[in-house]
Structure 1
Amino acid sequence: MSVVSVVSLASTGFKEIRGKHLHYSKFWNVNDSVSNKIKLSSRNGMFLLYTPAFLAGFSSFWLFPDEGLRFFYVKSALTIHFFKRIFEVLFIHKYSASMILDTAIPVTLSYFISTVTMIYAQHLTQGYPEPPIELTYPGIVLFLIGIIGNFYHHYLLSKLRSKNDKEYKIPRGGLFDLVTCPHYLFEILGFWGVSFISQTLYSFSFAFGTTIYLLGRSYATRRWYLSKFEDFPKNVKALVPFVF
């Protein structure tokens, strides 16, 4: 599963760079005909994406009780992460497009299977010696920085539009003045935080694969903004300030 996670996420990231996008957000109808495909409202599609993974994290407290403090932190971090996403879907995000069912189903399965596998991998560590280098508490700090930064920049994105406004605008404020996708940057930090807490091969593999995918997604997003807005600042990078 560690190999599958890295290969699938990295492959999807490279596809984003080549222009073959997952059909959601601003890329929902780019380059491909979607007129004959089943569409969901963006709100319903995003809700579908995150709910099974949240339920997997939430149910793990009942399925695997009393298996140590590290396991408790891993379960808590994953459950909080997907609860935040559902909260944003319902109360923060503003929507302008649809989501293709053909995209929603594999992404939903990806989040769900990854969450289940990360939790089960942690369960399998029970009875083994603790890692020689303790990264749990640096991981908690990194996770909190990631989830707070991600939420803040999602909030800034939501403020770009009024209630009935469907047009995309150039994001401003926070790290948007330096990079196109700071919300992706903080999401990466959050998953590396979970990896540090967990310290399993699978959590590391998932964080690494997610990093490659979001590198590709952010690169494609910057390219999209440059194509749509003549006044988009050329010095604004894709993901990492002053670097990429």
Structure 2
Amino acid sequence: MPSQHLRGTVWNMMYITFGVRQDNPLCDWMANIGLAFTVIAGTYSLFQPAPYGRYSSPKFGPTIPAKTAWIIQESPAFIVPILVVLTTPHVQLSNAPNAIALSLFLLHYLNRTFIFPFALPEQVKPIPIPTIFSAFFFCAYNGFLQGHHLANAYRIESSGFAETVGISMFFLGMWINIKHDGILMNLKREAGTDSEGNTDYEIPTGGLFELISGANYFGEILEWWGLALYTGGYPQIAFATFANTFLSIRAFHHHRWYKEKFGSAYPSERKAIIPFVF
């Protein structure tokens, strides 16, 4: 049934911006643009890894300390959906699966915005402002899309199998992501510095790092495909596709970087992102 739940709210401009009059076409258009961005960002990152972490450099612009940068750039994905709920009718949240799905999305960004940054070691490189700006914009855009879609535009129809598998994938992926982020942060805390004063890197071991170089990314990819399976919604599928593309390419760059740095000392059987495959 056609809906216009942004009418009379601060978000009414979204209809005008995207040239639509209803909620579902708005979400579809935004998801389409998200997929187009996936192609552009994915193609670019094949040749130039996003400049944060080990790839951060002042040549990409002025930098901000990593802890502050992560809070700034990730916070819209947590704050914007909450603002959408508070300022719109949020009629779909009376449906328990919708409320659960939005809560899962917020749970990830609660960790990414308010917990993960404070656990970062001091040795983490500062992040260039252009990188922060692009991540901030993406998180605001995606935060609105996911929040509006799940709160107002789309009703999740209960499907016991898909819901059970999807939510299990999400929590397993989140656990994998947090566990392996922790392994990397502990390695960095324990690392020394090289002759130029840069933080040394060590070969990560333990858990899925025995099989793949991007174990933390594998966990996050699993999270978002779990949410997509749980909802069956196009915007969640589009976001999972973006995460899958961007993080897989970054894992590939990490894998190649480790092999170049450590040579024969790096486990030859270890893959980039998919155990035993790639």
TM-score, normalisation: structure 2: 0.78
Residue aligning to 1:100:
128
Residue aligning to 1:124:
153
Partner SS state of residue 188, structure 2: coil
Task: Find the partner of 2:52 among 24, 29, 39.
Answer: 24
Matched, 1:175 2:208: yes
Contact 1:14/1:213 (<8 A) preserved: no
Matched, 1:157 2:184: yes
Structure label with greater radius of gyration: 2
- Structure 2 Cα separation of the partners of residues 98 and 221 of structure 1: 18
- The residue type equivalent to 1:78 in the other structure is F
Residue aligning to 1:198:
231
Residue aligning to 2:13:
none
Residue aligning to 1:236:
270
Cα deviation, 1:168-223, whole Å, max 9, x if unaligned, reads 22111111111000111110010011112222111111111221111211111111
Higher relative contact order (CA 8 A, sep 6+): 1
Task: Find the partner of 2:42 among 2, 13, 31.
Answer: 13
- The residue type equivalent to 2:80 in the other structure is A
Partner SS state of residue 51, structure 2: coil
Q: 1:52-63, aligned counterparts within 5 Å?
A: 52-63=76-87
Partner SS state of residue 116, structure 2: helix
- Structure 2 Cα separation of the partners of residues 202 and 67 of structure 1: 20
- Structure 2 Cα separation of the partners of residues 160 and 225 of structure 1: 14
Residue aligning to 1:76:
103
Cα deviation, 1:119-178, whole Å, max 9, x if unaligned, reads 21222124xx83778622321111100111100001111111337843222111111111
Give the number of equivalent residue pairs.
237
- Structure 1 Cα separation of the partners of residues 37 and 82 of structure 2: 26
The structure carrying a bigger helix percent of its residues is: 2
Partner SS state of residue 162, structure 1: helix
Q: CA RMSD in A?
A: 2.2
Residue aligning to 1:38:
62
Contact 2:75/2:139 (<8 A) preserved: no
Task: Find the partner of 1:89 among 91, 97, 117.
Answer: 117
Matched, 1:48 2:72: yes
- Structure 1 Cα separation of the partners of residues 200 and 85 of structure 2: 42
Contact 1:57/1:76 (<8 A) preserved: no
Long gaps (5+) in structure 1: none
- Structure 2 Cα separation of the partners of residues 146 and 33 of structure 1: 34
Contact 1:5/1:206 (<8 A) preserved: yes
Q: Residues 56 and 136 (structure 1 numbering): CA distance in 2 closer, same or farther, change over 3 Å? A: farther
